[in-house]
């Protein structure tokens, strides 16, 4: 279905159809949820709404302890997959072309921003375009400003960016062939510009959602209930030290003469009659139950987010082999693999759009070159560097791996191509040996 047919079917052909689309109940509910998630990440947690209490005739302000575990865990998930720049594989010439585009477009940061927003809000859109200097760039839209238009077959037919600044409403409408900009600056709704859309509709990234094929689900929603209970438990337990742990002196035997027990009895001495006794009584605290419950909640938080306990300083380790490290991070690898699937799909779609823009610039690429491109993600998993280097040396001695691949997997090499050039310059490698190497990959985003 084309956007014109969609407008006729659902908006009676209105020219300002996108305003009604933005104000629809479904879109407003989705955006409201995103704002709530943003507030939570900013530190506005449920525990802060805990009301004051009255204790011993006085107003008591209870503890409101905020735990920002969610932000730490989400940052770990994004960094685990994209802390190391992804590797692009393909024909040597096409790899170099995309390497140049990557550096100018700062695509390492673009990739990280996309994954960060998908993890936090479930869905995000990226628009690839040519800037004023004819450089290929990408814009990652704020999920709270993004509105996706799907037809009855869940095919994206248009995209609307809507936001308000200084009391002025702005609408950027992206369709297959054009980009239109509207605003109500001056009190009158006006179309400000219209441009040809060179790259097509934005790329949509979203994670898995059991209820929808086109909507994602924020990982943060699974964390909030557990963290809320941890904050509530810790805050109330801390209050108990101030409200219930004040000791009360109790005298057994004949009552003391005079004014009775002095108020500073804790710091002074008391003389009792024969067979008399004195005790300081207080409520007992079941700290073992608190400790068990709190640890159970924390472990559940790590389990449902596939976060290794060692990465949160919850486990002491030493002298681990490469296999042991992989076992510790097995759940993190599973989660990273799920994130990798939608990131790979979006990046490959980006390659096609970049090829289209390069052709417009007069730098055409063959279809075979573009189809040869692929990406390899390198997880940010701790490694036993000594064991890794020994394995690489063993493979090289067997003739089962190239020097370029050794440098690519080495933890001490940042740029494989530059390192090979340095080896030639230093005399450690002849140019003919480099030509025999299967140089098919470079670091690229």
The 3 state secondary structure assigned to the chain is CCHHHHHHHHHCCCCCHHHHHHCCHHHHHHHHHHHHHHHHHCCCCHHHHCCCEEECCEEECCCCCCCCHHHHHHHHHHHHHHCCCCEEECCHHHHHHHHHHHHHHCHHHHHHHHHHHHHHHCEEEEEEEECCCCCEEEEECCHHHEEEEECCCCCEEEEEEEEEECCEEEEEEECCCEEEEEECHHHCCEEEEEEECCCCCCEEEECCCCCCCCCCCCCHHHHHHHHHHHHHHHHHHHHHHHHCCCCEEEEECCCCCCCCCCCCCCCCCCCCCCCCEEEEECCCCCHHHHHHHHHHHHHHHHHHCCCCHHHHCCCCCCCCCHHHHHHHCHHHHHHHHHHHHHHHHHHHHHHHHHHHHHHHCCCCCCHHHHHCCEEECCCCCCCCHHHHHHHHHHHHHCCCCCHHHHHHHCCCCCCHHHHHHHHHHHCCCCHHHHHHCCCCEEECC
Separation in Å, CA 389 to CA 1, 394, 395: 55, 9, 10
What average pLDDT score do residues 273-281 get? Answer: 67
Q: What is the pLDDT of residue 40?
A: 96
* Residue at token pair 């239109």: 180
Predicted local distance difference test score (pLDDT) of residue 444:
35
Q: What phi and psi values does residue 158 have, to the nearest 5 degrees?
A: -165, 165
Of the listed ranges 247-256, 321-330, 410-419, the one predicted with least confidence: 247-256
> What pLDDT sits at residue 99?
87
* Degrees, nearest 5: CA angle 189-195-201: 100
d(CA 424, CA 434): 8
Who has greater pLDDT, 266 or 296? 296
Measure the N-to-C terminal CA separation of the chain; round to a whole number of Å: 34
Strand bridging mode 178-183 / 136-140:
unpaired
pLDDT digits (tens, 9 = 90+) for 74-131: 999 999 999 988 888 888 788 889 988 998 999 999 999 999 999 999 999 999 999 9
Nearest to 353 by CA among 87, 85, 4, 98: 98
Q: Are 199 and 357 in contact (CB under 8 A)?
A: yes
Rounded to an integer, what is the distance from CA 177 to the centroid of its chain?
A: 32
- What Cα–Cα distance (Å) separates residue 287 from each residue in 124, 227, 241? 44, 20, 11
* Residues of the chain above pLDDT 70, percent: 85
Q: What was the pLDDT predicted at 381?
A: 85
Length of the chain: 445
Greater confidence, 355 or 248? 355
Instruction: Identify the band that residue 390 occupies on the pLDDT scale cut at 50, 70 and 90.
Output: confident
pLDDT grade, residue 258 (50/70/90)? low
Once rounded to an integer, what is the mean pLDDT over residues 119-145?
95
Residues 6+ apart with CB under 8 A from 86: 111, 347, 375, 376, 377, 378, 444, 445
Domain ranges across the chain: 384-438
The overall average pLDDT reported for the chain is 85
List pLDDT tens digits, range 291-341. 888 889 999 999 888 888 887 766 666 666 667 777 788 889 999 999 999
**Is the CB of residue 226 less than 8 Å from the CB of residue 304?**
yes
pTM assigned to the model: 0.83
The reported pLDDT for the residue numbered 85 is: 86
Bigger pLDDT: 46 or 55? Answer: 46
């Amino acid at each position: 279905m084309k956007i014109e047919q969609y407008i006729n079917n659902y908006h009676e052909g209105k020219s300002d159809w996108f305003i009604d689309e933005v104000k629809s109940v479904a879109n407003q509910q989705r955006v409201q949820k995103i704002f709530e998630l943003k507030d939570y990440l900013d530190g506005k947690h449920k525990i802060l709404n805990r009301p004051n209490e009255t204790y011993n005739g006085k107003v008591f302000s209870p503890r409101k302890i905020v735990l920002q575990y969610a932000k730490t865990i989400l940052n770990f998930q994004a960094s685990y997959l994209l802390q190391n720049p992804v590797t692009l594989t393909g024909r040597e010439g096409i790899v170099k072309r995309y390497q140049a585009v990557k550096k100018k477009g700062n695509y390492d940061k673009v990739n990280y921003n996309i994954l960060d927003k998908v993890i936090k809000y479930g869905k995000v859109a990226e628009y690839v375009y040519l800037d004023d200097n004819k450089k290929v760039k990408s814009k990652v839209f704020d999920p709270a400003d993004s509105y996706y238009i799907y037809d009855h077959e869940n095919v994206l037919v248009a995209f609307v960016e809507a936001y308000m600044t200084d009391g002025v409403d702005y609408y950027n409408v992206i369709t297959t062939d054009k980009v239109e900009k509207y605003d109500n600056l001056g009190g009158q709704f006006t179309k400000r510009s219209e441009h040809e859309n060179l790259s097509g509709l934005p790329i949509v990234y979203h994670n898995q959602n059991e209820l929808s094929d086109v909507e994602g689900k924020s990982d943060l929603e699974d964390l909030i209930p557990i963290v809320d209970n941890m904050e509530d438990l810790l805050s109330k337990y801390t209050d108990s030290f101030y409200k219930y742990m004040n000791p009360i002196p109790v005298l057994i035997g004949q009552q003391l003469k005079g004014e009775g027990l002095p108020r500073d009895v804790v710091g002074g001495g008391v003389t009792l009659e024969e067979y008399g006794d004195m005790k300081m009584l207080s409520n007992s605290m079941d700290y073992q139950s608190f400790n068990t419950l709190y640890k159970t909640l924390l472990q559940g938080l790590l389990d449902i987010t596939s976060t290794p306990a060692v990465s949160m300083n919850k486990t002491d380790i030493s002298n681990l082999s490469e296999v042991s490290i992989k076992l510790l991070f097995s759940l993190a690898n599973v989660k990273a693999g799920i994130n990798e699937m939608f990131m790979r799909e979006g990046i490959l779609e980006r390659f096609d759009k970049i090829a289209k823009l390069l052709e417009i610039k007069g730098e055409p690429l063959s279809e075979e070159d573009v189809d040869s491109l692929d990406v390899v993600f390198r997880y940010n998993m701790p490694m036993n560097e000594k064991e890794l280097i020994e394995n690489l040396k063993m493979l090289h001695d067997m003739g089962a791996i190239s020097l370029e691949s050794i440098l690519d997997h080495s933890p001490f090499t940042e740029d494989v191509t530059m390192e090979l050039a340095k080896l030639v310059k230093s005399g450690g490698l002849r140019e003919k040996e480099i030509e025999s190497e299967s140089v098919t990959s470079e670091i690229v985003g």
